[in-house]
Amino acid sequence: MNRDSRDRMRAHWTVLAMLIVPLVIWLAPASTAADDREQRDLVDQSRMTLSNFLADSNMTWFRDHIKDAKGLFIAPQFLKAALFYGGAGGSGVFVARDEKTGEWSEPAFFTMGAASFGFQFGAQVSEVVLLVLTQRGVDSLLLGNFKLGADGSVAVGPVGAGVSAATTPNLSADLLSFVRAKGLFAGVSLEGAALISRDEWSRIYYGKAVTPTDIVIRREVKNPYSESLRDTIIKATEKR
């Protein structure tokens, strides 16, 4: 290959590099954003689930008392299925309020699962919200491996159009569970369900390895896609 040919070849690769490098740089943010699409979808679904609860005429007590919560766990799809022996599970997010500033944290990702025994048959998809009413409940969730009823007491939250803050006695449980469901099961019991942190999901969503404590207490990370969820929570928990 003579000198002219080498110069033309060098010029060709220079032009090609000038075209490819900007393209790679331009595509990189899109690829990164696509990686956390599943996590962003869960955050958005959690926002919609909370909005559904707030709009439900049977959730009067829930709307009146969500402002007293120290934390919230929201699972948009909690699937329960059984043929004699049953199991249930779903992914959700946990957020908590700063005791000093009153600001709500970014979401930490969790999975909730449970097993059940005895004669049963059917399937059901539910929306679940847990009101965390005590600091003990918040602290137990931050450990990343929490069992309802063992690591913190849980009670079924009051539901019904006629239920109000004035007619309901004080409840001392660490958490109150609220479930909206349609299916063959008459109800969903969350007693014994385990909540386990999904650290890999949190890493993908925030771009670095973080624990629930890093997210909820230390506030080390932030993702702009959480703003709509946090805005919904702020409006729902404003003192009236």
Q: Do both 40 and 29 map to the same domain?
A: no
Q: For the chain, how many structural domains are there in total?
A: 2
Pairing state between β 108-116 and 194-197: antiparallel
Which contiguous run of DSSP H or E holds residue 100?
none
Are the CB atoms for 94 and 145 separated by under 8 Å?
A: no
The partner residues of 116 in beta bridges, in order of sequence, read 86
Phi and psi at 154, nearest 5°, equal -135, 140
Model confidence pLDDT, tens digit, residues 164-187 = 555 555 567 899 989 888 654 544
Same domain, 223 and 122: yes
Task: Please check the confidence at residue 85 and state whether its pLDDT lies above 90.
Answer: no
65/117 same-domain check: yes
Stronger pLDDT, 159 or 131, i.e. the higher one:
131
- pLDDT, tens digit, for every residue of 9-33? 554 444 434 443 343 333 334 444 4
Q: Among positive and negative, which fits the CA dihedral 219, 104, 45, 163?
A: positive
| Bridge partner residues of 78 (DSSP) | 126
Q: Are residues 12 and 97 in the same domain?
A: no
- Please indicate whether residue 63 or residue 160 has the higher confidence score (pLDDT): 63
Which structural domain, as residue segments, surrounds residue 224? 36-237
